[in-house]
Structure 1
């Protein structure tokens, strides 16, 4: 295959194209159009249209109005900020072919009226960007068959409704490796929004990464088995996506009450990172991350890396189909490497989900300056390459056999109650990760039920 960049792919798609020639751009998980889907069925493949035969399409000639509904304010510096950056990106890329509008700070119970307001403004494609918007989006998709709907992070589709998500569990895993490598107290804290599978999945993946970092220290003779068994992860729930004051209070509690020295979070502000920076200023080494967008300036001394998303790449990909006149209902679930430019090599580009922003400088230099050892940085780089090329995934029971045998006398991925959830030879599939409601070994508090 010749060198084909993501931009070249999209130009071809809009102009009348052979989609199957764009090997590697879509990647991820993509499923075909269907009637209502109550359980997502996915497969790993490149996106094709037809049976590999060239297609002549008629691109859209009229400007398309594209609407976005956000659960938080666009200035939250987290989830909504990142989605809005994606909106601004596609407006710039597609220019006068589209017009974008948005409604921000929409409570999930008010999603229906917000959708209606965008329809009244003439929106023909509507993106709803919160899990709680799922059912209202489906309802409107059935009511307005001539309008296209795209729901972020959900699993229900319709003939004119697709789903999409830039999945972060792999970046969380990498972030966990750094946490395990740098922690002195072996106590960790997580400030969490809601106990839904997305958040539980991310917490678990972060903790698995911590275990890999700690286990490498054990094998290097830096820690004993008794040290490993003293490791604890504590979770504080906010029951809000955006509450900077509550997030800051939770972060301080995790440090003061449990002696946590690395803090991760699912909350759409830099509050947790700011708290870590406060402790750094007091001479106490507490570390944290960026979440969804670059937050480093809010805690430059406490900042390690992040869980970052370029939603613009997904919006560009989806809208290209509409502008080409061939919209289709898809379930897009992009992992690290998905959305990467093929001109940089097979899945070698940054992709839609990543953990290190180019503007942060050289990763090795920056992390070493904060005390992260070379072996941990080497491990991150090697695991990143394997995950981006889909050769390895952290949700692999066999990989954890030795680690959890050392800790629990059981092999595979073990939950906090001592049950083996993934045996050697088993790998978590999309459906398990999409519905997960249990915590891995090492987390103290249970997942809230009900």
Structure 2
């Protein structure tokens, strides 16, 4: 059973939150596990929030009447999200918050509701009842960069960036590193739209990048507007979070896809059987959390074979996308040959590699 909760019903203030918590604890004692999701964008974005909602639906399909799910979409990061999370905590056993900007609000609410489980996507904080989960999206960017290096005739890619946090920066860098292994002169031009989901800004950024000479467009934003723009302008594109080929049947070369279903099923099963524990996990291609969409018509057999080889090496653990030598924008050596970047440093990445124009 799914419930879409109207945002105007959310309670505000400690007294109402405490009352809701009491009611919620009584309800949890009798009935199915109650699980809620908080989405930063609309479930119909065909990208990030859409994929998380497919994960929620996978939970329903797998667990049936053992679980009752709900979700709230289009929740702005910041104070508004804390109100939403607090209200959901009052009537649920576990709450999943699915954007980096929800991390601190989730942490604060988790301390107020110690009997409720909380899980936040793409952050780095944890607590006794507060877990973190993430995906190595940069692995998919490495595959896309390989395709860009082989397919781009101009050696120039455009990258529509959402919000300049380490997760997005490392994706830009991984893409560029992979492309420059094929074409040492490859350039990646970045335009930030400072939003996760804004189709108008995303389309405008893609148009500007194409006007600047890019014949290959990547994105870390949530709508299909970038792929649609690439289709209209006759350039290649990589979709984001889900397979966006329907929006650019000629343009899309592949898409960086997320699959959250198995993780959500596993974690809610843990709530059901009483084995849930806080953790911090970073899942990737090996675990199936990151996958690539089927290659589009612009991908040559040679490019497909090269991309498949890179993907297989990442899964096997024989290729680290951030293995040195790596130089920064200024040409300074940041990672020596034979060295790699530790996960803790990746999660704080605030610098661009050589070849990035941003």
Q: Same fold (TM over 0.5)?
A: yes
Equivalent-residue separation in structure 1 for 2:30 and 2:279 (angstroms): 23
Give yes or no for the alignment of 1:244 onto 2:199.
Answer: yes
Alpha-carbon RMSD across the aligned residues, in angstroms, is 1.4
Give yes or no for the alignment of 1:444 onto 2:357.
Answer: yes
Give yes or no for the alignment of 1:378 onto 2:305.
Answer: yes
Gaps in structure 1 of 5+ consecutive residues: 1-59, 215-227, 281-285, 339-350, 398-411, 446-450
Equivalent-residue separation in structure 1 for 2:328 and 2:354 (angstroms): 5
Residues 156 and 216 in structure 2, CA contact (< 8 A), matched pair in contact too? yes
Shift of 1:61: 7.9
Shift of 1:432: 1.3
TM-score (norm 2): 0.89
Deviations 1:77-130, CA, capped at 9 Å, x for gaps? 11111111110111111111110001110111211110122134x211000011
Equivalent-residue separation in structure 1 for 2:61 and 2:182 (angstroms): 41
Shift of 1:313: 1.5
Equivalent-residue separation in structure 2 for 1:425 and 1:311 (angstroms): 33
Seen in structure 2, the aligned counterparts of structure 1 residues 418 and 391 have a Cα distance that, compared at 3 Å, is same
Larger % of strand: which? 2
Residue 347 of structure 2 aligns to a residue whose secondary structure is helix
Task: Kindly report which structure 2 residues correspond to 1:415-426, keeping only aligned pairs within 5 A, or say none.
Answer: 415-426=328-339
1:219 matched residue in structure 2? none
Residue 241 of structure 1 aligns to a residue whose secondary structure is coil
1:29 matched residue in structure 2? none
1:414 matched residue in structure 2? 327
Equivalent-residue separation in structure 1 for 2:89 and 2:207 (angstroms): 44
Equivalent-residue separation in structure 2 for 1:187 and 1:72 (angstroms): 30
Residue 141 of structure 1 aligns to a residue whose secondary structure is helix
Residue 435 of structure 1 aligns to a residue whose secondary structure is coil
1:354 matched residue in structure 2? 291
Give yes or no for the alignment of 1:393 onto 2:290.
Answer: no
Equivalent-residue separation in structure 2 for 1:311 and 1:337 (angstroms): 14
Seen in structure 2, the aligned counterparts of structure 1 residues 335 and 213 have a Cα distance that, compared at 3 Å, is same
From 429, 434, 437, the counterpart of 2:342: 429
Residues 188 and 233 in structure 1, CA contact (< 8 A), matched pair in contact too? yes
- Larger mean CA deviation between 380-389 and 241-250 belongs to 380-389
Residue 260 of structure 1 aligns to a residue whose secondary structure is coil
Residue 233 of structure 1 aligns to a residue whose secondary structure is strand
TM-score (norm 1): 0.71
1:255 matched residue in structure 2? 210
2:81 matched residue in structure 1? 111
Task: Kindly report which structure 2 residues correspond to 1:42-441, keeping only aligned pairs within 5 A, or say none.
Answer: 62-109=31-78, 110-120=80-90, 122-214=91-183, 228-229=184-185, 231-256=186-211, 258-280=212-234, 286-338=235-287, 351-356=288-293, 360=294, 363=295, 366=296, 369-374=297-302, 376-397=303-324, 412-441=325-354
Residues 181 and 372 in structure 1, CA contact (< 8 A), matched pair in contact too? no
Residue 165 of structure 1 aligns to a residue whose secondary structure is strand
Residues 166 and 311 in structure 1, CA contact (< 8 A), matched pair in contact too? no
Gaps in structure 2 of 5+ consecutive residues: 1-28
Shift of 1:379: 2.1
Residues 224 and 247 in structure 2, CA contact (< 8 A), matched pair in contact too? yes
Shift of 1:371: 4.8
Shift of 1:390: 1.7
Seen in structure 2, the aligned counterparts of structure 1 residues 428 and 61 have a Cα distance that, compared at 3 Å, is farther
Residues 277 and 300 in structure 1, CA contact (< 8 A), matched pair in contact too? yes
Residue 238 of structure 2 aligns to a residue whose secondary structure is strand
